[in-house]
Amino acid sequence: MQGRPVRRVAITGMGAISPLGVGANALWQGLCEGRSAIGPLQHVDAGRLRVKVAAQVPASFDPAANIDERTLPMLDRTSEFALHAAREAVAQSGLDFASNGLGLRTAVIVGTGVGGETTQDEQSRRLYGENSNRAHPLTIVRLMTNASASQISIAWGLRGPTFAVASACASANHAIIQAAQMIRWGLADVAITGGTEACLTYGALRAWEAMRVLADDTCRPFSVNRRGLVLGEGAGIFVLESMEHAQARGATILAELAGSGMTADATDIVMPSADGAASAMRQALDDAGLAPQDVDYINAHGTGTQANDVTETKAIHLAFGAHADRLAVSSTKSMHGHALGASGALELVAAIGALRDNVVPPTANLDKVDPACDLDYVPNVAREMPVRAVLSNSFAFGGLNAVLALKRAP
C-alpha cells in the first residue's frame, strides 16, 4: 500500500433500532425532544431482580416485518436488531451490491459487547434450570459473536472482509474505525458497520447488579445526584464509502468520517483514566486535521456513574485546553440508555444529526450539575447552534478508548 493516497470516508446510509423507536429518524427525533426512553424493566424475571429500570426497544418491534421467515430461526435478538438497522441503512444509501462486482469490495464489520446473550441465557436456563439434556440445534449460530456481521454479509451477498469487534462499551466505535480504515487504505470501497446489543437477560442483569453501578431511578449524567448507569439495547448500522465512490454515483452524503483515535489506559480494568481518554481525543483531532477550536460538539460517553463523568470532564479539558469551555457536550445515554457495544452506534446517529441539522441533543435528567463536572452539558433542552465538527466518545471497561471525528458533508 506504500504510495497509495489515503482516501476520505463518506457516510451515506444509517439505520437504527433503539428504545426511542424503530428507525434512525425515530431515534434522532426522540433525542431532539429530550425524551427519555428509560422506564420500568419489562422482563419475565423482573420480580427477582433489584434493578427496576432499563431502556428497552419497544414491544411493538416486529423482526418478522423486515426479515425473511427462513432466516428468523437462526437469529438471536442482537442479530434481529442488526439486520433491521442494516436494511434501513442500505436502503438510504441506494447502493446495488450486485452491480459491477461491488459485493466483492464491501466489508462488514459489526461491534458487540456480549454477542448472542439472549440465546446464551435461554439455553443456560434450559440446561441448568430445567435439567434438559439437549441444547437447541441452532444455539451456536445464534450466539456466536460474529453472527450479526455474517448475517448481514449473507443478506446482501457481500464477500469482502467480514468480522466482529468486541471491546465492551467501545465495540461499535472500534468496528466503525476498522471499517473506515479499510476504505481509507483501499482494502474496500464500501463497508457496512456499526454495533448491536441485546443484553437485558436475567443473567446479565444479575451480573451488572453485582457491580453496584446501576441506577435505581434514571440516568443522570454529570448531575450531582447521579446514581449510576441504566442499561439499554438496540443497534445502529451505517454505510461507509470512499468519498470518491460516493460522489461519482451522486450519493447523498450524510457526513464525513474524518478521523479517529484509539488508545488503552493500561491502568485498571474498570476505573477510567483521563490521560487515556484525552489521548484518544487528541489522536482523533490530529487524524481528522482538526484544531480543537474547529469542534463545536462532543457526544460524551457520559454513563452517569460517579467515576466516568468526572474523568471524562477532566479528559476533555486535557484534550481541548481553553476551548473546552466553549464546547457543547451532551450524553444521549440519558435518553437511550447504555447499550454497551451498540452505544457508540446509537450515538453516531446523534452526531450525524447534529451536523446535518445544526442541533445539539441535550443531556436529559440534568437538574443540578456536579461542581466537579464544569462543562456546558446542554441541560434538558436541545440547542440550535452551528455545528462544524463533532467528536463522539466511547470509553470501555478494560481501559479501551475509541473516538470518532466527523465533519459536515462536503
**Burial annotation 19-35 (CB, 10 A radius, 16+ → b, else e):** bbbbbbebbbebbbebe
Question: Please, which residues have CB within 8 angstroms of residue 264's CB and are 6 or more apart in sequence?
Answer: 276, 398, 399, 400, 401
Label residue 294 exposed, middle or buried (CB < 10 Å: 0-12, 13-18, 19+).
middle
Quote the strand ranges of 265-380, DSSP E: 297-299, 328-330, 359-360
Q: Report d(CA 138, CA 124) in Å as an integer.
A: 14
Q: What cell numbers appear for 330 in the block?
A: 451532551
Segment holding 274, helix H or strand E: helix 274-288
Q: Which of 84, 219, 338, 373 is catalytic?
A: 338
Instruction: State yes or no: is 43 an active-site residue.
Output: no
Radius of gyration of the chain (CA): 20
Instruction: State yes or no: is 338 an active-site residue.
Output: yes
Quote the strand ranges of 300-410, DSSP E: 328-330, 359-360, 383-384, 389-396, 400-407
**Taken in order 62, 66, 69, 73, is the CA torsion positive or negative?**
negative
Q: Which of 32, 169, 199, 373 is catalytic?
A: 169
Q: Which of 32, 301, 336, 373 is catalytic?
A: 301
DSSP state of 364: T
Nearest to 252 by CA among 14, 85, 2, 83: 14
Q: Report d(CA 121, CA 322) in Å as an integer.
A: 48
Cα torsion for 314, 320, 321, 325, to the nearest 10°?
-80
Label residue 126 exposed, middle or buried (CB < 10 Å: 0-12, 13-18, 19+).
middle
Instruction: State yes or no: is 336 an active-site residue.
Output: no
Strand partners, 262: 402
Q: At what angle do helices 306-320 and 274-288 cross, to 10 degrees?
A: 40
Q: Report d(CA 112, CA 144) in Å as an integer.
A: 11
Nearest to 66 by CA among 51, 50, 86, 46: 86
Residues designated as active site: 169, 301, 338
